[in-house]
């Protein structure tokens, strides 16, 4: 075959392929909403027709016999049928997996948990199925968190309504007794009313603090703080309250530990944890407050009580606003922790997080221990 003939054959074959390809693209455009199986069969058919057209042009230039050309067309026809069959099989497989992925997406939309299938026809679909399953898991966790937050919000509203109603009812009753002249000891009534007002004021302060934490408007005024001095002052302030309940409140701390913190907010953290222990500890039990340094360099403030511990299923919820604990599973002869943490522990978590720290709770023999872990920033020497 001369170069001139080869060039002519190549040119005619290229022209045939371009024409067939253009017609194939037009057919795909007309079938853009059709089934994937049909589109794949169009692609396979266009490829076969392009080859047949090119060979027909080459045969006309090389004067191939009619018998040989017939044989060629027969072979090309068989190859075309096989190609169409393979395209149909592949298309049906892709369509089936597409339906499965659509079903998975619909399940995610309904809030159901999905599991990625173990086998797929290609890596792309396998990756897509895995990502859908991971997305469904994240959405399920997000919905669970949202449900817990909503439940906590409802509990908080119920808690506030109940705890506000009690002092308000007491103040109203004492005010009516004073108005009617029925109070035998007015000074005692005034003192009790002032105590109830202080209690209401404390609850309002807690709500305001929690609101600042949740809205992200809590601003810290940080300075170098000696943890020994700060905690010893907080414990000394609550020592009379512990003595009134015959509790042994002790502070065991290391000296020299300093961090960058807001002393007022950090004092509130210690006070809330100690008051929580006082409220739930039976008379005669010890409450130990300590401060140490972790091997990772963080300062650890611990408050340990002997109030019977917290049920394991409730450990993850003690820092939720308005949470109320269920009864612990301890023998009747042992001290138990009843009631809830209200807002105090939720405020503790918010303040600790604002200091880029962590707060954890563990059950220990006879009670539980709260640990506040804070990043330590020692004062520079000299």
Q: Give the pTM.
A: 0.55
pLDDT at residue number 338: 38
Q: Going edge to edge, which strands form the sheet with 286-293?
A: 248-253, 286-293, 299-304, 367-374, 358-364
Q: CA–CA separation, 267 vs 209, rounded Å?
A: 14
Whether the predicted pLDDT of 289 surpasses 70: yes
Q: What is the DSSP string of 304-332?
A: E--S----GGGGGGTTSTTEEPPPP---T
pLDDT at residue number 279: 86
pLDDT at residue number 5: 60
pLDDT, mean of residues 108-136: 72
334-369 pLDDT tens trace: 433 433 446 788 889 989 998 999 999 989 988 899
271-283 pLDDT tens trace: 999 988 998 888 8
142's tokens: 């997000």
Q: CA–CA separation, 174 vs 159, rounded Å?
A: 23
Confidence of residue 174 (pLDDT cuts 50, 70, 90): confident
Residue identified by tokens 């002092």 is 167
pLDDT at residue number 360: 92
Tell which wins on pLDDT, 68 or 179: 179
Are the C-beta atoms of 264 and 293 separated by less than 8 Å? no
Confidence of residue 117 (pLDDT cuts 50, 70, 90): low
Q: Mean pLDDT for the chain? A: 78
Nearest to 259 by CA among 224, 290, 294, 222: 224
Confidence of residue 382 (pLDDT cuts 50, 70, 90): very low
Q: CA–CA separation, 59 vs 12, rounded Å?
A: 11
293-317 pLDDT tens trace: 888 888 999 999 988 888 887 787 7
Whether the predicted pLDDT of 328 surpasses 60: no
pLDDT, mean of residues 173-187: 84
Tally of CB atoms within 10 A around 301:
26
317's tokens: 């919820």
249-266 pLDDT tens trace: 999 877 788 899 999 999
pLDDT at residue number 1: 52
Distances (CA, A) of 113 to 20, 97, 108, 124, 126: 48, 19, 7, 22, 18
pLDDT at residue number 304: 92
Whether the predicted pLDDT of 187 surpasses 90: no
SS (H, E, C) 92-150: HHHHHHHHHHHHHHHHHHCCCCCCCCCCCCCHHHHHHHHHHHHHHHHHHHHHHHHHHHH
Q: CA–CA separation, 56 vs 76, rounded Å?
A: 11
Instruction: List the Cα angle 13/16/21 in 5-degree steps.
Output: 125
Nearest to 97 by CA among 119, 64, 69, 70: 119
183's tokens: 């109070």
Angle between helices 186-215 and 344-354 (to 10 degrees): 40
pLDDT at residue number 31: 73
8-66 pLDDT tens trace: 667 766 777 777 778 777 877 777 777 777 777 777 777 777 777 767 766 666 655 66
């Amino acid at each position: 075959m001369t170069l001139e003939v080869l060039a002519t054959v190549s040119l005619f074959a290229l022209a045939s392929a371009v024409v067939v390809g253009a017609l194939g693209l037009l057919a795909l455009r007309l079938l853009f909403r059709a089934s994937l199986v049909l589109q794949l069969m169009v692609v396979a058919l266009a490829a076969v027709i392009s080859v047949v057209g090119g060979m027909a042009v080459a045969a006309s230039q090389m004067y191939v016999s009619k018998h040989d050309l017939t044989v060629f067309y027969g072979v090309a026809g068989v190859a075309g049928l096989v190609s169409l069959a393979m395209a149909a099989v592949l298309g049906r497989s892709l369509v089936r997996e597409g339906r499965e992925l659509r079903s998975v997406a619909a399940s995610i939309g309904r809030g159901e948990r999905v599991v990625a299938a173990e086998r797929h026809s290609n890596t792309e679909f396998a990756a897509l199925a895995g990502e859908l399953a991971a997305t469904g898991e994240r959405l399920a966790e997000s919905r669970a968190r949202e449900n817990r937050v909503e439940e906590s919000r409802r509990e908080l509203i119920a808690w506030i309504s109940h705890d506000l109603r009690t002092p308000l009812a007491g103040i109203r009753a004492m005010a009516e007794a004073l108005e009617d002249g029925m109070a035998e000891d007015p000074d005692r009534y005034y003192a009790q009313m002032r105590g109830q007002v202080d209690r209401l004021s404390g609850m309002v302060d807690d709500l305001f603090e929690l609101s600042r934490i949740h809205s992200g408007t809590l601003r810290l005024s940080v300075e170098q703080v000696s943890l020994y001095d700060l905690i010893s002052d907080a414990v000394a302030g609550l020592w009379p309250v512990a003595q009134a309940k015959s509790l042994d409140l002790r502070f065991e701390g290391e000296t020299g530990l300093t961090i960058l913190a807001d002393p007022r907010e950090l004092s509130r953290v210690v006070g809330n944890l100690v008051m929580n222990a006082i409220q739930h500890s039976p008379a005669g039990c010890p409450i130990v407050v300590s401060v140490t340094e972790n091997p990772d360099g963080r300062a650890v403030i611990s408050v340990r009580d002997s109030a019977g511990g917290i049920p394991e299923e409730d450990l993850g919820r003690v820092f939720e606003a308005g949470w109320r604990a269920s009864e612990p599973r301890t023998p009747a002869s042992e001290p138990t922790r009843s009631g809830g943490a209200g807002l105090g522990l939720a405020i503790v978590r918010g303040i600790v997080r604002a200091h880029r720290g962590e707060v954890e709770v563990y059950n220990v023999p006879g009670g539980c221990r709260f640990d506040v872990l804070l990043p330590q920033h020692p004062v520079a020497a000299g």
